[in-house]
Amino acid sequence: MKLVQDMVDYLLTAEKDKREVEKITTDFPSLTIEEAYEIQQKLIEQKEKEGHHRIGVKLGLTSKAKQEMMGVHEAIYGYLMDDMLATDGERLPYSGFIHPKAEPEIAFIMDEDIQGTSITPEDILRVTKFVAPAIEIIDSRYLDFKFTLEDVVADNCSSSKFIIGDRWVSPQFINLKEIGVNMLKNSEVVTVGTGAAVLGDPAAAVAWAVNKLGETGRGLKKGDIILSGAITEAISFKSGDQFEVNFADLGSVSFSCK
Ligand code: OOG
Ligand code: MG
């Protein structure tokens, strides 16, 4: 469908040029969620053609607060690509972003392939090799970070970069619902939260994603990284800012922006 390809080109050009663009539903208000996922799928395939690889999946809109803000009742998913992964403590150039925000998340690293439509949080924990502290940097391609559910799905859920800390722990040693986190910007605490903010349990968020992928015969693969969704609101940053996320029992992860 030509329209899908046009939208893929529109979003990829915005990302490459680091330029915010009008959301696509302004011109196409009848865009459905299914069409939005089709655009996302083609966008990822285009990145693969350009030599990048999928390394996992990310969840979005997993907190009640974000869902209410958007007037929706469901989470969303997108894909993580190899060029999104930054290293712990890395200094990332601001010129690589449009209007970035950082959010604390728990990353899951899969020990086995998993696919299905009635997967439970317990199933997820059974096939998770490690959980680790993470920061996701989101950078919507849309003007002023404003969009509908369909727009943000098409835009691969605002994905830009992510960073994983070096403390990887088996999930059996961690209470993911009760785990506390704080995020510091330039050494000051800017937001705090607990794991339960993510659909009541980060493992439930991952189960939701697997069941959603399962509807179209897809799933997670051994070695995949899953970002289970923001535990707090996302915080904007500019050149010169430094972030540190500290999880109780799960260590820290940081980055700065040059
Ligand atoms: C959509 C992506 C949200 C999360 O963890 O909730 C997301 C957005 O708010 O731009 O990554
Ligand atoms: Mg996120």
Residue 185: both structure tokens together: 């910007």
**How many CA atoms does the CB half-sphere of 103 hold within 13 Å?**
30
pLDDT at 1: 59
Confidence band of 200 (pLDDT split at 50, 70, 90): very high
From the CA atom positions of the chain, what is the Rg in Å? Answer: 17
- Cα–Cα distance for residue pair 181/134, rounded to 1 Å: 11
User: pLDDT digit string (tens) for 167-196?
Assistant: 999 999 999 999 999 999 999 999 999 999
139: left (phi over 0), alpha (psi -120 to 50) or beta: beta
Percent of the chain as helix, strand, coil, to the nearest 5? 35, 30, 35
Report the 3 state secondary structure along 98-133.
CCCEEEEEEEEEECCCECCCCCCHHHHHHCEEEEEE
Question: By C-alpha distance, which of 178, 176, 181 is closest to 226?
Answer: 176
Assess whether pLDDT exceeds 70 at residue 66. yes
Q: Give phi and psi for 27, each to the nearest 5.
A: -90, -25
Assess whether pLDDT exceeds 90 at residue 63. no
| Mean local confidence (pLDDT), 48-57 | 98
Instruction: Please report the atom of ligand 1 found closest to the CA of residue 230.
Output: 5
| Mean local confidence (pLDDT), 76-101 | 98
Q: Report which protein residue has its CA nearest ligand 1's atom 6.
A: 60
Instruction: Please report the atom of ligand 1 found closest to the CA of residue 147.
Output: 10
Q: Report which protein residue has its CA nearest ligand 1's atom 11.
A: 60
Residue 226: both structure tokens together: 């899953």
Helix (H) or strand (E) holding 244: strand 242-247
C-beta of residue 251 within 8 angstroms of C-beta of residue 167: yes
- What's the chain's average pLDDT? 96
User: pLDDT digit string (tens) for 89-131?
Assistant: 999 999 999 999 999 999 999 999 999 999 999 999 999 999 9
User: pLDDT digit string (tens) for 220-243?
Assistant: 999 999 999 999 999 999 999 999
Ligand 2 centroid from CA 136, angstroms: 5
Ligand 1 centroid from CA 50, angstroms: 25
Instruction: Please report the atom of ligand 1 found closest to the CA of residue 103.
Output: 5
- Cα–Cα distance for residue pair 245/120, rounded to 1 Å: 28
Return the SS3 of 32.
coil
For the chain, what percent of residues have pLDDT higher than 70? Answer: 100
Helix (H) or strand (E) holding 247: strand 242-247
Instruction: Point out the ligand nearest to the CA of residue 144.
Output: 1
- Cα–Cα distance for residue pair 159/36, rounded to 1 Å: 15
Instruction: Please report the atom of ligand 1 found closest to the CA of residue 61.
Output: 6
C-beta of residue 77 within 8 angstroms of C-beta of residue 209: yes
Instruction: Point out the ligand nearest to the CA of residue 75.
Output: 1
| Higher-confidence position of 202 and 63 | 202
Among 64, 157, 225, 232, residue to substitute to test ligand 1 (most atoms within 8 Å of Cβ):
157
Ligand 2 centroid from CA 137, angstroms: 7
Question: By C-alpha distance, which of 12, 20, 64, 66 is closest to 39?
Answer: 12
Strands 85-86 and 159-164: parallel
Q: Report which protein residue has its CA nearest ligand 1's atom 10.
A: 158
Reported pTM: 0.98
Instruction: Point out the ligand nearest to the CA of residue 205.
Output: 1
Distant-in-sequence, close-in-space partners of 33: CB < 8 Å, separation ≥ 6: 149, 150, 153
Among 61, 62, 99, 245, residue to substitute to test ligand 1 (most atoms within 8 Å of Cβ):
61
Residues with CB under 6 A from ligand 1: 60-62, 66, 103, 136, 138, 140, 152, 157-158, 229-230
Assess whether pLDDT exceeds 90 at residue 73. no
